[in-house]
Amino acid sequence: MLAIYNRGRKLLSRDTGAALVEYGLLVALIAVVCILAITDLGTTIRDKFQEVVNGLT
C-alpha cells in the first residue's frame, strides 16, 4: 500500500508539464506583442508614405 502511495506522490509532484505550459504561454504573449508592434509600425509607415505621395502631387 505504501508503494502505491509513493508512486502517486511521484506522479503528482512532477512539474515538467507545467514548465512546458509556462513556456507556451510566454511564446504566445511574445507573439501577441510582436503582432501589435508590427501592426502599429505598418500603420505609421503607411501614413509616412502617404505624406510623401501627397507632397509629390
- What's the longest Cα–Cα distance across the chain? 86
pLDDT score of 12: 65
User: Any long-range contacts for 42-46 (C-beta under 8 Å, 24+ apart)?
Assistant: none
pLDDT score of 57: 80
Name the DSSP letter for residue 33: H
pLDDT score of 13: 67
Give the C-alpha separation, 48 to 40, whole Å.
13
pLDDT score of 54: 94
SS3 57: coil
Alpha helices, DSSP H, located in 1-57: 2-13, 16-56
pLDDT score of 9: 73
Could you report the per-residue pLDDT of 11-52, keeping only the tens digit for each?
A: 666 666 677 888 899 999 999 999 999 999 999 999 999 999
pLDDT score of 6: 76
